[in-house]
Chains A and B, each alone.
Chain A
Amino acid sequence: MTAADGMTGADAVTGADAVTAAGGVTAADGRPGRGDVLLGARGVAVYFPVGSQFAARARHEERLLRAVDGVDLEVGRGEALALVGESGSGKSTLALALAGLCPADSGEISLDGKTLPARRSNADRRRIQMVFQDPYSSLNPRMTIGGVLRELLRVHHVVPRNQVAEESKRLLTLVGLPAEAVSAYPRQFSGGQRQRVAIARALALRPDVLIADEPVSALDVSVQATILNLLASLRSELGLSLLLISHNLAVVRHLCDRVAVMYLGRIVEVAPTEELFGAPRHPYTRGLLAAIPRLARNDLDTGAPAISGDPPSPLRIPSGYRFRTRCPIAQQRCAEEDPALGADAAAPGHLAACHFAFVPAPPAATGLARTGDQA
């Protein structure tokens, strides 16, 4: 739906202009124009069957874990988009689906306007690469760094065979490691250096999109900065599109142009970073922002937690609107109707899925919200 509204034929022209003019960031309204959408997802859903399907059928119930439940998302060329949300919100599963590492049950994923088939060709796979959270388990301990890179470069014919060794060294220098690292094993590196190796491995295939799933959360604070700076500089040097998955909103604010907030398998709000953090429209986003501990603020004594309770299980998603069980402004209507991701005419780049996102907030909660903690 995000592609459908407000983007008719006329936009195709302006969109194409935006690519050349703005270095491919985003169009004026904050949403990538049609021309510069690089990676698109439409109605993507990933379900996992859980437990005995036979027993479930006998009891006439559905045992499906709805990890990703209908997501529309667009990543512009050269854009850095952040995907944030609590654990279990489906952000990692969505990333795997986009990278083609986990088949989507429905919906379609397109790259450069071309719909990708369920079984992707090597050429398509090359264009979307991933960096994982834990650099200790995502590198083969029995292979040297050079071995990892050479294998990739050969299999995908990235460079002619006689240049493979040279290219591996170039990649390592690109991510700030010494060229001699080719003959070292992962165990000889610290966490931050391993994450550099993981980034070099992703870049070896010269991708258009780099998906980084919590790339710094396993690292120490002082090392995190070096990796974040590296991602920022690679993005501007290579013109990469970046999809950054993180639960750390400070990291996101630092690195990304736009932010998509996920809750229980759906995207509940998408907007340019400063707009989302400055004027959040969705009650969940407001709660997330209020929950961030700040260096220069201490207000634990005042008031209730920003969001009470735990997220519901993705096996039993609440009826109507899925956030209503924890929403401070939930109304009767929210139990019945599932709001679509929509925007205000004034700011078409700021989408939110809430009945009250763009109308004045309702008077008071009707008690539908379950209060988990009386502070």
Chain B
Amino acid sequence: MTAAPGPAPGGTVPGQGTPTGTVLEVRDLHVRIASRQGTVRAVDGVSFDVAAGEALGLVGESGSGKSMTLRAVLGVLPAEARVTSGEILLDGVNLVAQTQHELNRIRGTKMSMIFQEPMSALNPVMRVGLQIAEGPQVHLGFGRARAAERALELMRRVGIPDPERRFRAYPHEFSGGMRQRVMIAIALSCDPEIILCDEPTTALDVTIQDQILRLLARLCSESGVSLVFVTHDLPVVAQICQRVAVMYGGQLVERGAVADVLLDPRHPYTRGLVRSAPDFDYVRESLVPIPGAPPSLITPPSGCRFHPRCEFAEEDCRVSETPLRLLPGGRATACLHYERCLEAVAADRAQG
């Protein structure tokens, strides 16, 4: 089946995955949500791309627009939300312009999704084997027997023990980790080019999370599938992704290789995120929270959306727009005064 080898074995090591081409390209995406209080600018000019075989992390707090971005890409926005402008190119095809029928075809074969809560994403009254076999039947034209065979093979690949017996089980008979394996099997069932993951391990225990992350990393390097991984957990991103994009208030504020961004941030918000999370390897005297609260997306602050909470903010941060600016080393930051953040990071490090 997925005979196509990954671009480079061990493609999960940063810098080692040699991108052969761009699979997904998001250009200046805007998503608005109509609400009684006003229009929520949930995603406001987000651009990124994902290379073949690459895993991109999309991180941010709740309300930063990371899940909305992912849903827009898959075309499963809630009823009140609309893509108002921008392009989502999958293999050069603009998904925003497609009809529902076309989208259904693309979603099945080229793109799939893994959700946070597998119990609500799986059909509770359908045997899991049939749920895994459904994709190949509908999208690849497999007959029932052949699709069932494929489902068994996938169940073996994702490490579900005793697949012949488990084929006939229902989702409620599975543990959380096993359900997530079923979700992964479904996501892989039609050999997609890209899998979108929305916090797939947040609901799991740390030992099970470890198993699932290892499984995903192995499957990706085996089959060369790309990942977009949405999470708020920075260490998880460090584990599974090569590149990361940080979102704040519906916009991208920083982008770059995982180790660069998380260990040597160029945006005060990224620095704040890293400093406020307790890190297992480095115990600080006290954690440094980010002051203030996330911005309203109905009436966002002018200029840089982070300026009301930023210790480096100057007058120009309040007035001028802050698009991503490219930096050396394939990085980008939206901070006008990123040099000051750079100094602060260096000072943090000197302190220990």
Known: A305-B210, A374-B159, A375-B218. A248 touches B234 (CB 8 A): no
Residues of A within 8 A of B209 (CB): 291, 293
Interface presence of B290 (CB below 8 A): yes
B65 CB to nearest A CB, Å: 14
Contact of A296 among B177, B238, B278 (CB under 8 A): B238
Interface presence of B214 (CB below 8 A): yes
Q: A372 contacts B289, CB within 8 Å?
A: no
The residue in chain B whose Cβ has the minimal distance to the Cβ of A277 is B280
Q: B218 contacts A295, CB within 8 Å?
A: no
Interface presence of A250 (CB below 8 A): yes
Q: B213 contacts A300, CB within 8 Å?
A: yes
Contact of B221 among A223, A291, A301, A307 (CB under 8 A): A301
Interface pick from B10-18, B22-30, B86-94: B10-18
Known: A222-B61, A293-B238. A247 touches B13 (CB 8 A): no
Q: B10 contacts A301, CB within 8 Å?
A: yes
Contact of B159 among A226, A307, A372 (CB under 8 A): A372
Q: A87 contacts B238, CB within 8 Å?
A: no
Interface presence of A96 (CB below 8 A): no
Q: A292 contacts B178, CB within 8 Å?
A: no
The range of chain A's interface size is 35 or more
The residue in chain B whose Cβ has the minimal distance to the Cβ of A228 is B287
- Interface of chain A: mostly helix, strand, loop or mixed: loop
- Within B9-48, the residues touching A (CB, 8 Å) are 10, 12-14
Interface presence of B98 (CB below 8 A): no
Interface centre among A288, A292, A306 (most CB of B within 10 A): A292
Contact of A300 among B12, B159, B274 (CB under 8 A): B12
- Within A240-266, the residues touching B (CB, 8 Å) are 247-251, 253-254
Q: B239 contacts A298, CB within 8 Å?
A: yes
Known: A291-B207, A294-B235. A300 touches B277 (CB 8 A): no
Q: A292 contacts B161, CB within 8 Å?
A: no
Q: A220 contacts B61, CB within 8 Å?
A: yes
Sample (21) of A-B pairs whose CB atoms are under 8 Å apart: A86-B206, A220-B232, A221-B232, A221-B234, A224-B287, A225-B276, A226-B289, A247-B206, A250-B278, A250-B279, A251-B278, A287-B207, A293-B209, A295-B234, A295-B262, A295-B263, A298-B258, A301-B10, A301-B13, A301-B218, A306-B210
